[in-house]
Structure formats: structure tokens, C-alpha cells
Structure 1
Amino acid sequence: MAVGGRSSWNVWLVSGACGAAGLLALHSAVPNGIGRLGSLLETFLPWLGVAVPVLGCLALIVRSWAGLLACLAPGAVWLWMFGGVWFSSPPGPYDLTVVQHNVADDDADPAGTARALLAARAGLIAVEELTPAAQPAYQGVLGASHPHRAVHGTVGLWSAYPLSDVRPVDIRPQGFPGSWRRALRATVSAPGGRVAVYVVHLPSVRLGPRGLASAARDESAALLGARIAADPAGRLLVVGDLNGTVQDRGLAPLTSRLHAPPTGFAFSWPAGLPVARIDQVLGRGAEVTEVSALEATGSDHLPVLGRVLLR
């Protein structure tokens, strides 16, 4: 290869590696005012790590040692940000297991989906997009092992442990009708102690020519965050389809008040080729020690299993 050609490759590869490292480390500096580009980047932030092997292979092919060395920068930043999530530690102690699933309102086999959730042997089973027509199927499968139930609108919670103080939570963005009911709160008397559990489904997000349409979701997240802040419960869980990742700044009014699991990417959406975890199990005063994605059901989301330490 001619020297001039190699020099051009050096420039492109070093620039690409530095750009990937910069986006990873400084993602919060990407503006959100136009098309919510910052939120869009943060939704798929872990995937910037793919740039490291791609650029590294190109550098080897064209024998660009400068480009190969430059790949160390994004690789190091990615490991610093996501290494703990990627390299999972052995399972630790836990008091409670929670399965969370957007079951899809068009699922043709709700009983089959309920059986799949039951097979996870979780003490709590939280669902979203629960339709009135599907409720009897879920109750028929889950009712014996999880006799305590709370349903509000399209969200539901089946529990093996007693529930108390069950109430709806209004997180409707401005202009949404009263029939839009997507959040509830219940106190669970679990073996490790009482814990407040919120089951929520934030508004959907759409990607279009103008970028990420997430204003309604962000408003709903802020309303829920305010409710969480005012909740006196010492131990609290938020489980549900947040339509966003924990890195997405649009959810910061909510996620900044909660702790995410330290390990496990557990990508949950879309079910056919999961690229992001938008289904969450988050805690305050209750440590979510592990999260994992389960096998596909009839939904376009994968179920997510969380293990929770209450003591």
C-alpha cells in the first residue's frame, strides 16, 4: 500500500476511534433540543462498543498500527462504563424475585404467556398491556400460586405474598384522557420485609424524520419521579415498561431517584432481535442485585427477571 494511502487510513481510523470514545465518554454533552439526539444516542449507547472490533479489523487489514492503537481509547472507555455489566459476577443472596413483562395487547395466547411467566418461579409477576379480555387467562394460570392481585387499567400485579395499600397512580401527560391508566402502587409483605411496588407503563416513543418523539414519555417519567420522591416507603421497587433505557436522560427525573442492577444487559426489545432494555426493575432502599431476560413469548418484548435484596 502506498504511503499516502496508509496515511489516509490512519487519519480515518484514528478519527473514528476518537469519535467513538468521545461519544461514549461525553454522551451527556450531545444536545437533546433537536430531535432528542442525546436520548437517541443513550438508548443504544452500549452498541458504540461495536466500533472497537470493526475499526480494529480494518486497522489490521490496512496495517495501520496508529489506527490499531487508537482503538484502545474507545475500548477502555467502554470497559469503564459497561465492563461491570458485561462481566457478570456470581449470583448473590436475594429475598425476592420479580418478573416484569409487557405482554402485548395483541398476544394471541395469553394463557401460554402466563404459563411462561409462571415458570420463572418469581414471587411477583408484573404485566403491562393487560387487556380486559386477557385478564381471565392470566388469573386462571397465576391465581393458584399468586392469589394476591392488583389491576388498574392495563397494568397488573400478581403476588405470592399479601398486598395492601393498593392504589392507582396518575402519571398521565397533559392532554391524555382519563381512560389512560398505566400505573399502580401496592405494598407487598415479602419474606424479607415490606416493600412498595410500582407497576408502570410509560408512553410509547416513536422515531421519525424529526428524531425521537419522547415528550409525553418524559413528562410521564417526571410525574412518576415526583411521586417516588414523595413516597415515604423505606424500600421501593419500580417495575415496568419505561420505553427507555436507564442511560436515557429523558427518564432522569425518575431514574436518578432509583438504582439500576449492576450486572446484566438483559436487552428486552424488540423480542426478535433485542438491542435495548426498556423493561426495567429498579429499586430504592431495595437492591436489585441481578437482572436477566427470559425466553420470548407472544409479545414483542422479552420478559425480564430481577432478583432483589431487601435486608
Structure 2
Amino acid sequence: MIVSTLEAARELVREAGLDPEAVTLIINEALDEDLGGRGVLPAGTGAGVDVTSEATIPAEATATGDFVARRPGTIAGMPVVALTLALVLSPAGPFSLTAGVKDGDQVARGDVLLTVTGNTRALLRAERVALNLVTMMSGVATATRAWVSALSGTGTRVRDSRKTIPGLRILQKYAVRVGGGVNHRMSLADAALIKDNHVIAAGGVVEAYRAVRRAFPDITVQVEVTTRDQAVAVVDAGADEVLLDNMSAEEMTEVVRQLKGRARFEASGGLTVEDAAEVAATGVDFVAVGAITHSSPILDVALDLHS
């Protein structure tokens, strides 16, 4: 990948299956925050200026630097890095980005992910936002890949949840896909998930399912259950997917054995990668792991300028 225009960077994002306008909005919000906007600094206190770079670096200076992995893992977010850099560097003059890896690649400590040349002030202004995004996304992809490896050969797939960092859902769920996982619903609007509070409000698990199906006859409906009897009842009612919440391996095995082929089944509730083989052995189609988006450590990456 060699990029030297803003449009080329946008196209990389588009090719990754992301909306360039939506990603640009995320990046611009982060850049604004980093320059003292969004309530970070009181009005009139210098917001909008990188005071350190303005004071120490000539306006026309250029530099070359490498984005370098500080530990091994799975990379996700290279198109987002390219767009972040292009948005900041393109108004400041010519620039070039040359990537040494692509999303989904496994990297080792010291591997160069991308080399960038451009205006030095602009490069340092974009640095932290680009790093924050790629380290977060690569951390999610790395954690997802660990689950995928643990489930290899079982037929069970790891799936995320809506437990994402506010404002960053499309990037985190993209990173799950890069890591080999499967996305659950993207929002409250594209699929139904009937949970305990819905059951209480509707007067029962089957009543809740039927209410959703009447209101939205064409939408996928998943129902959370905690007992075998609830699972049987909602599958008999026609549920597409059943979320087996905090059930033992023995209970899940029995539910799947009895109802296999009539619905898809997902295990959920405090699962860890060490549990993967035992849970997959129950025959569930998915394991739901909110931790891959809400608790994954970053994959450390740094920008090293050439001397």
C-alpha cells in the first residue's frame, strides 16, 4: 500500500468495508479533542494549536517516521491510520504512506507497520490519534484471534456484543472481523435481543418473543434464556436464536442435543478463552464475548522518527 492523496486513503477505508465519512467523523472528533476542543480546555486558552510542536519545529520542516510494533499480535486499522494521517498531512503539503503490513497480519516486536513522510508538525499532530486507534483496534483483533485459535476445529465461532467504547463501535466490530470473529447486531435497530428486563415487561419469555415478532415480522429475534424449559418454549414459539445465559456445560449440552437444527444457540456469561474447548463441546454455534471489545488490552505501537 502506497498512499499520497486523501482520496486514496478514503478508498482504502472503503475497500475495508467501512464508510469513509463515518470514519472521518470519528477521526475528526478525536483530533479536535487532542487539540483542546470538545470542552477539554476553556475557550480562549490556546485550543487548536499543538503548542510544543509550534514552538520547537519550523513550519516547513518535513520528516520520515515508522509506525513500529512494540509487541506481537494481530494488526487491525491500517486503513484508519492512513486516513488519519492523510486528513492532517494533506493540507500541509506533499506526503506519502507506505505500509509494510495489512489488516489481519501477525506481527512481531519491531516490525514496521507503515512508513510516513510529510510535514513534521502535521505528522506529530496526527500521531497520537492514529496510534490510539490502531493500538485499540489491533488489541481487539489480537484478543479475537486468541478465541478463534482456541475454537479452531470445533464449528463454534466467537461473536462480539454491543459492549463497545461509545463512538467507536464500527471500528471495534471491524477489528473483531479482522481477528476472525463474527459480529452480533450492530445496533438496537437491526436485530432483536429479548433479555430479562423485556421478559419482565412483557409478562413472560414467550409473550415477549411473540410481541416482537408481531411488531417486526421480518427481523431476526434472539431470546435470552436461563433454563432448558425456557429454551424449549421459545424454540417451539419460533425463535431464530437462543442465548444460553450462565448455563453450565451440562445444561447447554442437553439443550442443544434436544433442539439441534431448530434454532442457533449462543453461550454467554463470563466466558474466558480457557473455557473455549469445554463450551464448544456443548455444540453451541456461537460464544458471546463482550470482553473482546470492552476489556482487551491495546497492542502497543509507536511512531519512531528517523534521525
TM-score where L is the length of structure 2: 0.32
Is the helix fraction higher in 1 or 2? 2
- Higher strand fraction: Structure 1 or Structure 2? 1
| Structure with max Cα Rg | 2
Q: With structure 1 as the length reference, what TM-score do the two structures score?
A: 0.32
